[in-house]
């Protein structure tokens, strides 16, 4: 069964750091680009970051550029998101999502995890 399972969410103070992880199973992980998409309370979906199947190229939304780092370990089928200098506006449910392509060039997120909640508050 194709599955994505996120972990690592929690409560963190403004300016703090958090590392999210996503464990993938049921497909050839290295053959697909992966992404993080978030949904703030009462808001819509917002793309955060993406990484190619090889991990050689990364992409970021302007809102997180310079603060978040996406990475993957194809030997362990895991995707990570290192979040630094967190702000209140980063509070959201963070979804791990598989893209239906090796290099991101569309928005075909065909598999999603259940999400992990990040709350940035003092």
Partner 1 sequence: QSVLTQPPSASGTPGQRVTISCSGGHSNIGINYVYWYQHLPGTAPKLLLYRNNQRPSGVPDRFSGSKSGTSASLAISGLRSEDEADYYCAGWDNSLRGPVFGGGTKLTVL
Name the minimum Å distance from CB 29 to partner 1.
Answer: 18
Judged by beta carbon, residue 53 or residue 113, the one nearer partner 1 is 113
Contact positions toward partner 1, by CB under 8 A? 35, 37, 44-47, 50, 59-62, 95, 97, 100, 104-110, 112-115
Within 13 A of 111's CA, how many CA atoms are on the CB side? 21
Whether residue 108 contacts residue 100, with contact meaning beta carbons closer than 8 Å, is answered with yes
* Rounded Cα gap, residues 60 and 94, in angstroms: 14
Name the minimum Å distance from CB 122 to partner 1.
Answer: 27
Judged by beta carbon, residue 62 or residue 75, the one nearer partner 1 is 62
Question: Which of helix, strand or coil describes residue 31?
Answer: helix
Name the minimum Å distance from CB 77 to partner 1.
Answer: 18
Name the minimum Å distance from CB 119 to partner 1.
Answer: 16
Contacts of 64 (CB under 8 A, 6+ apart): 48, 49, 83, 90
- What tokens does 108 get? 């075909």
Judged by beta carbon, residue 54 or residue 114, the one nearer partner 1 is 114
Judged by beta carbon, residue 30 or residue 45, the one nearer partner 1 is 45
Contacts of 59 (CB under 8 A, 6+ apart): 49, 50, 51, 104
């Amino acid at each position: 069964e194709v599955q994505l399972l996120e972990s690592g969410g929690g409560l963190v103070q403004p300016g703090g750091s958090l590392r999210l992880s996503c464990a993938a199973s049921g497909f050839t992980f290295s053959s697909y680009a992966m992404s993080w998409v978030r949904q703030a309370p009462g808001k819509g979906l917002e793309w955060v970051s993406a990484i190619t199947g090889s991990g050689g190229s990364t992409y970021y939304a302007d809102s997180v550029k310079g603060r978040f780092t996406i990475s993957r370990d194809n030997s362990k089928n895991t995707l990570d998101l290192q979040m630094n200098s967190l702000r209140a506006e980063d509070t959201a449910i963070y979804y791990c999502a598989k893209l239906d392509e090796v290099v991101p060039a569309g928005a075909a997120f065909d598999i999603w995890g259940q999400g992990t909640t990040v709350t940035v508050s003092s």
